[in-house]
Amino acid sequence: MAVAPSIAVTGACGRIGRALTAKLAAKPNRLRLLDRSGRGLESMRHLGETIAVDLAKLIPDELFAGTEVVVHLAGEANHEAGWESLLPDNIEASYNVALAAMRAGCRRLIVASSVHAVSASTRRPVRPDDPVAPADLYGVTKCFVEALAFWYAHRGSASAAAVRIGAFAPVDAARSRGAERMAEVFIAAPDLVRLLERAIEADYRFAVLHAAAPGRDVLLDTEDTEKLLGWRAAHPFPSAGEP
């Protein structure tokens, strides 16, 4: 009888982490859920093994022992954050995760990048193979994470993906922050979760994946991602007046 896949999710208590974990737990997966203490891991114990850890500090090599896929969602998510939090949370923690996954022999690493890695690009829409163009230090750290994933995939037989995530928010909240800008980068929760599921399962060596809703004048071109994963976003950002 086949053994269920073992998947580790860092940042499991975040909005994306909780949405993905709930979906993965509905299937025969063995889950290892990681986040900092005090983030609510105790409420997720019924979904899998939980480990409270500060990934920016030295972490044990055995952290991912027996794990097939690591989905690294942890990190500073505020694009206006300063270097004092971006360095440990997005740079050092991501390196520690990649190194621990590599030493554990994990076959795949999936990292959360962001639309901010290309938000200053003059191209519309941006393709995955276009040059990076960060407009802030947060975007710079996401360029590092993408490069880290490439390094991971070319150090051996493992594979990796960097997922450029658009604005992950409920529609009402997105509208409140300015519908015109949000419409360019919006991604609905169920669409992002399906993309991450396909990123776990699909066949590739290295990929930059674009997670964004369909629409006119969007920032991220999703055509290559759709072909590679057999995925397509089903929820466009509604125009004003739409439900």
Q: What is the pTM for the complete model shown?
A: 0.93
- Report d(CA 230, CA 99) in Å as an integer: 30
User: Could you give all domains of the chain from N- to C-terminal order, each with its CATH number?
Assistant: 6-167+189-212 (3.40.50.720)
What is the tens place of the pLDDT at every residue in 105-135?
A: 999 999 999 999 999 999 889 999 999 999 9
158: left (phi over 0), alpha (psi -120 to 50) or beta: beta
Phi and psi at 106, nearest 5°, equal -65, 135
Q: Which is nearest to 96 in space by CA: 10, 163, 176, 220?
A: 10
* Dihedral (CA of 64, 69, 71, 72) sign: positive
pLDDT band at 1 (very low <50, low <70, confident <90, very high): very low
